[in-house]
Amino acid sequence: MLSPDECYRAIQELKTLELRWKRTSESAQAIAEHLNIHDQIQAVYYPGLPGHTGHDVVKKQMKNGFGSVLAFDLMSVDTSLMAKFVSSLQESQLVVFGESLGSPETILAHPVTMGHRSLTQAHLDELKIGNNLFRLSVGFEEPADIIRVLDQALDIF
C-alpha cells in the first residue's frame, strides 16, 4: 500500500512520463546504433535495432521509442580490461556504476557481479549471460557525450 506522499509523487511523475520516455528512448537508440557497429562490441541487445529478436513485434506494440535500457557484450572477456573499462566510465562522471534502473543518470551495470551473482554458472550459461555482458540504463545526458565516454573507455581494448 502506498502512502499519500508516494501516491502524490507517482501522479506527478506520470505527468512527465511521455517526455522522459521519448528523450531516453531516442538517446538509447542512438547509443545502441553506435555500439552496434563498434569493433569492440560483440552484440547489442536493444529492441529498437532492426536485427533484435522480436523487433517487429515490439515495433507494433511500443509507442514513441523502445525504452532506455540496452545491453551489450564486449568482445573481450579479460576481467582486468573490463575493470579498466568500468573505471574509465566512472572517471568520466557521466556514467554511474550501479544496479539501479530508471534514474535520471546513465547507469552501467555488470549483471554477473551484481543482480545475477547468486546464479550458478550453468544457469548463467543457460540464460546466455556472460562475464562480458553489461547493461546500460540511459539517463538524460546528451547521447553524444555518453557515446564519447563509451568510445574512450572502449579504447583500452
Model confidence at 1: pLDDT above 90: no
Q: How many CA atoms lie within 13 A of 149 on its CB side?
A: 21
CA 15, CA 44: separation in Å to the nearest integer? 31
pLDDT tens digit sequence for 36-83: 999 999 999 999 999 898 888 988 898 889 999 999 999 998 989 999
pLDDT tens digit sequence for 81-130: 999 999 999 999 999 999 877 789 999 998 887 766 667 778 767 778 87
pTM for this one? 0.88
pLDDT of residue 131: 81
pLDDT of residue 116: 64
pLDDT of residue 118: 64
CA 152, CA 144: separation in Å to the nearest integer? 12
The stretches of the chain forming alpha helices (DSSP H) are 4-36, 55-61, 79-92, 121-127, 143-154
Model confidence at 142: pLDDT above 80: yes
CA 144, CA 124: separation in Å to the nearest integer? 33
Structural domains of the chain, ranges and CATH numbers in brackets: 18-154 (3.90.1150.10)
